[in-house]
Structure 1
Amino acid sequence: METRLAVRLKEPNPLFTRWLERWLREAERRQQKSQFKLRQALEALKCYPLPLYSGRDCAILRGFGGTLCQMIDEELRQHRVVNLLPPTATTSEQYEQQVQQVVRKVQEKQEEQAQKKKQREKKPRKPTKKDLQEMAAAEERERRVEMPPGSFEILLLVDIQETSGKNKRVLDQTRSYLESLGAQHEVRRLTIGDFLWIAKDPAGNELVLPYIVERKRMDDLASSIRDGRFHEQKHRLKQSGLKHVIYLVEDYGDNEQLGLPLDSLQQALANARVQNGVQVVRTENHFRSMAYLASMSRSLAQIFGQKTLHSVQDKAESCCLLTDSKLGLLKFRALYDDSAKNAQLTVREVFVQQLLQLHSLSLERAMAIVERYPTPRCLLDAYEECVEAKEARQLLARIPYGPLERPLGEKVSQCLHEFYTTQFR
């Protein structure tokens, strides 16, 4: 790599400076008026960073009049005669020598730094605590785990938010209900879902069974639909890699004063069941919900207890039939890290989440749009290619979505066009 040097000499014009200092002392001794001009010229000469080769060159500086320039030229001629120097050799050669000295010093310093860098690279850097943790996590994810039949237990994991009520006066009865029903469980922080099941062996290895539960009360369901969380949660649950997604929905008293009409909530649950393949389970109250989870724990223990379980790294590899004697499951740690809300998202995933925040945009409609236009940039480019504004407004109207492949419609298409083409100021 080339290095650009900015060379600044400490004293670019030593001869001229020495002569001016001599003339200034004589003028001060004789108390001549020229001392003021000489002092001004000397200060300007010392501030000038480049070498000057004659009195004529000095004329560009403050304080150098015609007389002073002639005095310098005359002094310069005498100096060359005495020292037998060719014209212009006095200052230019000195300048070149000083430049070469600077270049050599810089090159020597660069070589010294390069040697030190090589020595540092040869010497292994002591890994930090964070490096060790990342290495251990990577090794843990790659390490293959296999659990023979009977060597593990099925454990229900409960999200920590399910064990403490929103109100300190009303403690959530989740844990006490599960204990009374004899369901083996453990409270942890889950990054996705409220409940899931793991197979745990004596060595501490944990594999996730392909079932995950999102528990909602009817009033919570209405709230999540209003603020858009319902569609986002469905999308995240489907992307988790667990094949069986269950919505456990509890009644809220007589299901009155929910914030949305009951018919709208029932339609949303029906859409989730039909269009998203989500299993919806309705219960009367909290205790009935915990009884359902305890029953699921017993059933899963019977189904998976006599099978050989092994770990897989890819979500696609976790696809298995319950009739198989050997099943591939994801590790809990991998699911936890990959499903974290703060995990790095692709532009496509962010685009889906952005669309879900818009009114009338369900997950099926958002996914249909993203299939055609994977990023907002692709959609904006498509708008720009439209010849007329009417064509752009109807660009998305005929995109099919859902199992029935219905078109998105002109209203949704116009709303999206207005949203993505309006400039906010």
Structure 2
Amino acid sequence: MPNNSVTRLKIQLQEPNPLFTRWLERWLREAEQRNHKSQHKLKQALQALHSYPLPLYSGRECAVLRGFGSTLCQLIDDELRQHKMMASHVMASDTTERYQQQVQQVVEAVQQQQATEAASINKKPKKLTKKAQQEMAAAEERERFVHMDAGSFEIFLLVDTQETSGKNKRVLDQTRSYLQSLVVQHEVRRLTVGDFLWIARDAAGNELVLPYIVERKRMDDLASSIRDGRFHEQKHRLRQCGIPHVIYLIEDYGDNQHVGLPLDSLEQALVNTRIHCGFHVVRTDNHYRSMSYLAGVTRTLVLLYGAKFLHSVDKQSLHPICPSDARVGLLKFRALYEDSARNAQLTVREVFVQQLLQIHSLSLERALAIVERYPTPRLLLDAYAVCETAAEGRRLLASIPCGPLQRPLGEQLSQCIYEFYTNEFN
């Protein structure tokens, strides 16, 4: 009689989770070496893992076992992720050489086919977008050499748009009206530096900038710009623009008694501008006198440059102009406009100067002297870190010579800068 009894076979893997076991054993050894309290949890988890008969595929699945908390499960998931990445790299490295050979063969075949097609078919060039065409034309215009023969150009006064846009639109534009009455050839356009400058323009539309630029300020505007820091920032940008002769045209505001700052402070600021910056400061009684001065300068420039040969140069090639020179190198207007734009790319050194100018009583000359010694904020902070005491750090900049007279910066400003760059603000 046949035996119909069925025998149930029990199959159990000898080590269902060898990776997890190896990782737990390694973490347990490290915890025991450091005598870390996590070793007890790891022993408990390792024992539970040995007793579990089925394979586990993630740290999350291990959460059903005793001793596996959320931290340990996350560690296993992280380790598993790295293991899979390493495994994929190993598999890829085994076939890399053969794959590269196949790819190289395909590339050579495609290149040979493209060379054959290029030789037989005259492909039409891809049509550029309007923006790309404008950018290409602008780049070519900047690179193109411009030459103007004597008498082949006219000289115009350019007026910044902010000088002609009054707050009240019903009020007559005095700037333009005065210039028209004084018979001054002028144009109104946006300038990225200064309020007035002069250009020479030939029949082809090429424009070269004469080496004079004017920043006009009424006394109340001067006081306002000193208070909010614009005064130092504007002087810095004027010095960097490349035009050698900078004129500050200062216009009185009544009796200059109610302008926001004491008159002595304003006078001192103008003296510093003349001596330290080397700018030419001109004082006028009112707006009409200011426009009359610009009309006189325009006529003088027509006489000085009308019979000269002008040509374009870059900013680095500019050199002082002698009145007897027959040939004069000048900047292109487009180059000046783009390089002086507020959104132009600034160097770390220039940003550092502008940052220092925001500190009260720190003039442009003093800021430049500091940046000459420490060109970046990182270098200044490193110098502060070397100081053994805070008192030494506060005196670090005190002896730096500033301006033409080489006067020291002083302990008060040195301490102010130290506090500004070392204090943490919450």
Which range, TM-score by smaller chain? 0.7 to 0.9
Report the equivalent of 1:359. 360
1:176-191 alignment runs, 5 A limit: 176-191=177-192
Q: Could you say what secondary structure the match of 1:137 adopts?
A: helix
1:241·1:318 contact (CA, 8 Å) conserved in 2? no
- Cα-to-partner distance string for 1:28-62 (whole Å, 9 max, x where unaligned): xxxxxx9xxxxxxxxxxxxxxxxxxxxxxxx6348
Please state how far the C-alpha of 1:125 moved relative to its aligned partner. Answer: 5.5
**Aligned AA for 1:355?**
L
1:164 aligns with 2:180: no
**Aligned partner of 1:135: which letter?**
M
**Aligned: 1:262 with 2:263:** yes
Question: Which position in structure 2 is the counterpart of 1:221?
Answer: 222
User: What CA distance in whole angstroms lies between the structure 2 residues aligned with 1:316 and 1:106?
Assistant: 51
Aligned to 2:54: 60
Do 1:318 and 1:329's aligned partners in 2 also have CA atoms closer than 8 Å? no
**Alignment check: 8 A CA contact 1:164 1:171 kept:** no
The residue aligned with 1:331 is 332
**Equivalence for 1:138:** 139
> Aligned with 1:216: secondary structure?
strand
Structure 2 residue aligned with 1:8:
none
Tell me, yes or no, if the aligned pair for 1:142 and 1:313 is still in contact at 8 Å. Answer: no
Match of residue 422 from structure 2: 421
Q: Distance in 2 between matches of 1:411 and 1:393?
A: 9
CA contact (8 A) 1:312 1:318 kept: no
> Cα distance, 1:127 vs. partner?
3.5
Alpha-carbon distance in 2 for matches of 1:402, 1:176: 41
Distance 1:192 1:135 in 2: 25
Q: Which whole-Å deviations, capped at 9, do the CAs of 1:300-335 have from their partners, x for residues lacking one?
A: 000001111111013442432222111100000000
SS at structure 1 position matched to 2:343: coil
Output the CA distance in 1 between the equivalents of 2:221 and 2:318.
34
Q: Report the TM-score when normalising by structure 1.
A: 0.73
Structure 1: runs of 5+ lacking an equivalent: 1-33, 35-58, 63-99
Given the two structures, how large is their TM-score scaled by the length of structure 2?
0.73
Structure 2 segments unaligned to the other structure (5+ residues): 1-7, 9-52, 57-93
Structure 1: 4+ residue segments shifted above 4 A: 103-126
- Let me know the Cα RMSD of the aligned residues: 3.2
* CA–CA distance in structure 2, aligned partners of residues 181 and 175 of structure 1: 10
Q: Specify the SS of the correspondent of 1:246.
A: strand
Structure 1 equivalent of residue 200 of structure 2 = 199
Alignment size in residue pairs: 341
Q: What is the alpha-carbon distance in structure 1 between the residues aligned to residue 238 and residue 109 of structure 2?
A: 54
Q: Call closer, same or farther: CA 1:404–1:352 in 2, change over 3 Å.
A: same
Cα deviation, 1:163-197, whole Å, max 9, x if unaligned, reads: 11123343431011100000000111110100000
Tell me, in whole angstroms, the C-alpha distance in 2 between the residues paired with 1:304 and 1:233. 28
Give distance in 2, aligned partners of 1:307 and 1:419.
52
* Aligned CA distance change for structure 1 residues 183 and 114 (closer, same or farther; 3 Å): farther
Q: Taking structure 1 as reference, are residues 118 and 401 closer, same or farther at Cα in structure 2, changes over 3 Å only?
A: farther
Task: Quote the residue 2:275 is aligned against.
Answer: 274
Which residue of the partner structure matches residue 23 of structure 1? none
Instruction: Give the structure 2 partner of residue 394 of structure 1.
Output: 395
Question: How far does the alpha carbon of each residue in 1:255-307 deviate from its partner, in whole angstroms, 9 at most, with x for none?
Answer: 12100001110110011001111111111111111111111110000000111
- Name 2:296's counterpart in structure 1: 295
Question: Which residue is equivalent to 1:240?
Answer: 241
Distance in 2 between residues matched to 1:192 and 1:140, nearest whole Å: 21
Distance change in 2, residues 1:396/1:302 (3 Å): same
The 1-side partners of 2:396 and 2:326 are apart by 50
> Computing the radius of gyration over CA atoms, which structure comes out larger, 1 or 2?
1
Equivalence for 1:340: 341
